[in-house]
Amino acid sequence: MKKATIRTIAETSGLSTATVDRVLNDRPGVSAAARHKILSTARDLGYLPEADNTPLPAHPAKLEFLMPIGTNSFLRELAGQIEEFCERLPLVASVRVHQLRGLDPADLEEAAARLSPGTSGIGVVATDHPRTRELLKDIAQSGTRVVTIASDVPSIPRAAYVGVDNVAAGRVAGLLIGRLIARRPARVGLVLGSRRYRGHEEREMGFRSILKEEFPGIAITSTGEVQDARVEGHELGRRMLETDPELAGIYCVGGGRFGIAQALKEAGRALDMVFVCHDHTSESRGLLLDGTVDAVIDQNSRLLAEQAVIALLGSIASSVPSLSRKFIEPRIIFRENIPNLLIRPSYT
């Protein structure tokens, strides 16, 4: 059989080669109906549309996402990005984001009980807990594709993990803090969302390892978990400063950054404390601008959302149990190179 080309797809679908080219290269300016027709035709002709070498299904799929959004501004904006991307992607028949009440496995179990029977794939931000693992194994073994987002649960039969290399991200944070403190002996604080998140545990591992290797004079003397919550972040930040007024830096691994920043401002330490955190959000943007945060290590919510959706669609189209692993490259954001936030988050 002769290999399909853009011209044969155009002739079969009755649309122009320029329109076919725009659809196959994911460029704007084409209606959802035309996109669907072109992708279906391309699939039927054996010209498999791809995104980063990931095959896409010929028929629209129902997708659902399970995310403990709470007061986590990054997850809130990620959810908005997922919905926005799915709305303009004809291969997504429907998308639903379930907001988990918290990080407890019971919250994930409760949300999973509300999954629609016809759902083809789910994306999940979850802790690496025995109950979580069993639940996600059951979902995957039922035939529903599972993609983990931002923090992996590697022991389950998930189709893909979409996110940064969290060990490397933690090492980047340690390098930034060590350099900004100018390698002098100092004490720093470490704030985690929860060690139940494998990603947070990996970031802590990377952070500790590079301090030990490159900056032995910098000691981690204060640690705590804030469950990605603003109030808990404020309380822990306040206690850290009261316990050690000479604290030179804080690394916030996950959520709770705004509460920590509030504690720094109340103590008059916002401009002399080295403060590094993760994820570009409307909150961290403001903290960069006013000088409270020195640097943000960002995993790009727009790219993360798009890659999570593409990975789900690719896993639905593919016969292999898991897709090849490809990390999202983190970017370092300072006050002078703040990127635009592309959409307004739909969750409050």
Q: Which of 291, 295, 230 is nearest to 263 (CA)?
A: 230
- Examine the pLDDT at 294 and tell me if it is beyond 70: yes
**Whole domain around residue 276: which residue ranges?**
166-298
SS3 146: strand
Query: Which residues share a beta bridge with 222?
Result: 189
Out of 138-147, 165-174, 262-271, 335-344, least confident range: 335-344
Do residues 236 and 186 both lie within one domain? yes
Residue 220 shares a structural domain with residue 287:
yes
**Is the Cβ–Cβ distance between 294 and 334 less than 8 Å?**
yes
Average pLDDT over residues 61-69: 96
Burial class (CB in 10 A: 0-12, 13-18, 19+), 201: buried
Residue-level pLDDT at 85: 93
CATH code at 206?
3.40.50.2300
What are the tens digits of pLDDT across the range 159-171? 999 999 999 999 9
Q: What is the DSSP string of 195-243?
A: TTSHHHHHHHHHHHHHHHHH-TTEEEEEEEE-TT-HHHHHHHHHHHHHH
Kindly state whether residues 38 and 82 are assigned to the same domain: no
- For the chain, how far is it from start to end, CA to CA, in angstroms? 53
Q: Considering the domain boundaries, does residue 344 fall inside one?
A: no
Residues in the chain: 348
Q: What is the mean pLDDT of residues 200-214?
A: 98
Are both 71 and 138 inside the same structural domain?
Answer: yes
Calpha distance 274→294 (Å, rounded): 6
Q: Per DSSP, what are the bridge partners of residue 149? A: 162
Q: Which amino acid is at 163?
A: G
Report the pLDDT value the prediction gives residue 322, as an integer from 0 to 100. Answer: 78
- The per-residue pLDDT of the chain, averaged, comes to 90
Pair 63, 107 in one domain:
yes
Domain-embedded: residue 199: yes
Mean pLDDT of 295-321: 91
240 with 137, same domain: the answer is no
pLDDT of residue 45: 75
Q: For the chain, what percent of residues have pLDDT higher than 70?
A: 92
Lowest mean pLDDT among 6-15, 100-109, 315-324: 315-324
In this structure, is residue 346 part of a structural domain? no
Note whether residue 328 is domain-resident: yes
Residues 67-89 as b/e (b if ≥16 CB within 10 A, e otherwise) read bbbbbbbbbbbbbbbbbbbbeeb
Residues 233 and 269 reside in one and the same domain: yes
Phi and psi (nearest 5°) for 216?
A: -65, -15
Q: Which pLDDT band holds residue 55 (cuts at 50, 70, 90)? A: low
Any domain includes 156: yes
- CATH code, domain carrying 41: 1.10.260.40
In a domain, 347, yes or no: no
Do 89 and 150 lie in a common domain?
yes
Is residue 1 situated within a structural domain?
Answer: no
Which H helix or E strand runs over 247? none
Q: Tell me, what's the pLDDT at 26?
A: 60
Lowest-confidence segment of 53-57, 91-95, 211-215 by average pLDDT = 53-57
Angle at 323 between CA 317 and CA 326, to 5 degrees: 130
Asked whether residue 176 falls in the same domain as residue 289, the answer is: yes
Q: Above 50 in pLDDT, residue 1?
A: no
Q: In terms of pTM, does the model score above 0.85?
A: no
**Number of folded domains that form the chain:** 3
One domain for residues 208 and 255: yes
170 and 286 both lie in a single domain:
yes
pLDDT in tens, 38-51: 877 876 776 644 55
C-alpha distances in Å from residue 246, one per residue of 206, 266, 273: 24, 15, 9
- Give pLDDT tens digits for 237-286: 999 999 999 999 999 999 999 999 999 999 999 999 999 999 999 999 99
Predicted confidence at residue 342, as pLDDT, reads 58
The percent of residues above 90 in pLDDT, for the chain, comes to: 74
209 lies in some domain: yes
**Do residue 10 and residue 69 come from a single domain?**
no
37-58: burial string, b at 16+ Cβ within 10 Å, e else: bbbbbbbebebebebeebbbbb
